[in-house]
């Protein structure tokens, strides 16, 4: 990564976080902590209003508008492939948003990249729309921390009713999976989205609860691999 790109990304990361440590920045940008310290110092000297100190963390004291850097071919291809995958497998709302976002990206590309097209595609010829029909409502419910009720059919075709606190949706091995805190089992449970028979939203919103959050689930996975 070019140093100019790295400095730009540091500012972008600090714009969207309350505070980040040098270690967190170093991990995100795949550089040493010493490099981050030097970059923070140079950004501060150049007038970027970064506040903080080593060992504590850094943040921006005020909003900073930084002009976007031009994409190189690899960056543009990553964006194109990602947008294509979202259009095919991301549900109607995100699929439409990805299409519109790509139009905006292409509108500001330099002439030499206007005709660039990746040869990686996410075709929808064999996609069953019913597999993804609940993605929008599940994503919205997770974002709004809204309790839901589902009818579910497992791999043995056994039906069950569950009341859930939806936490996240992830894509792996070719299918979307809902991670939720199950109020029936009082534990984390995963549900394949293509096996959900119906989804009903409720008027109940769940609040952050220690031991029942996405971070707790990820921590348990990390512990199980040690």
Per-residue model confidence as pLDDT tens digits over 64-121: 665 555 678 888 899 999 999 999 999 999 999 998 888 778 766 777 787 888 899 8
Query: What's the whole-model pTM score?
Result: 0.70
Mark whether 23 and 98 lie in a shared domain. no
Tell me how far apart the alpha carbons of residues 157 and 159 are, in angstroms, rounded to a whole number: 6
Mark whether 218 and 155 lie in a shared domain. yes
β-sheet bridge partners, residue 150 = 162, 199
7-63 pLDDT, tens digit each:
888 888 887 777 899 999 999 898 999 999 999 999 988 888 898 888 889 988 776
Mark whether 81 and 159 lie in a shared domain. no
Domain interval for residue 96 = 73-113
Half-sphere exposure of 59 (CA within 13 A, CB side): 7
Mark whether 108 and 48 lie in a shared domain. no
Q: Is residue 121 part of a domain?
A: no
């Amino acid at each position: 990564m070019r140093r100019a790109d790295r400095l730009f990304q540091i500012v972008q990361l600090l714009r969207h976080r309350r505070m980040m440590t040098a270690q967190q920045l170093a991990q995100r940008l795949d550089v040493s902590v010493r490099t981050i310290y030097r970059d923070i110092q140079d950004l501060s000297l150049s007038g970027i209003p970064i506040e903080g100190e080593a060992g504590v963390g850094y943040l921006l004291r005020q909003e900073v508008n930084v002009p976007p850097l031009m994409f190189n071919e690899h960056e543009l291809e990553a964006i194109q492939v990602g947008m294509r995958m979202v259009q095919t497998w991301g549900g109607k709302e995100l699929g439409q948003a990805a299409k519109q976002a790509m139009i905006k990206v292409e509108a500001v590309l330099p002439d030499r990249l206007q005709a660039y097209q990746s040869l990686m595609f996410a075709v929808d010829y064999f996609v069953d729309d019913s597999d993804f029909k609940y993605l929008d409502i599940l994503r919205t419910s997770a974002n709004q921390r809204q309790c839901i009720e589902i009818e579910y059919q497992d791999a043995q075709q056994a039906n069950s009713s569950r009341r859930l606190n939806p936490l996240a949706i992830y894509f792996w091995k070719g299918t979307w999976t809902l991670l939720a805190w199950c109020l029936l089992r009082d534990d984390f449970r995963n549900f394949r989205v293509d096996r959900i028979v119906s989804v009903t939203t409720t008027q109940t919103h769940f609040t952050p609860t220690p031991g029942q959050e996405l971070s707790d689930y990820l921590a348990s996975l990390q512990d199980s691999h040690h």
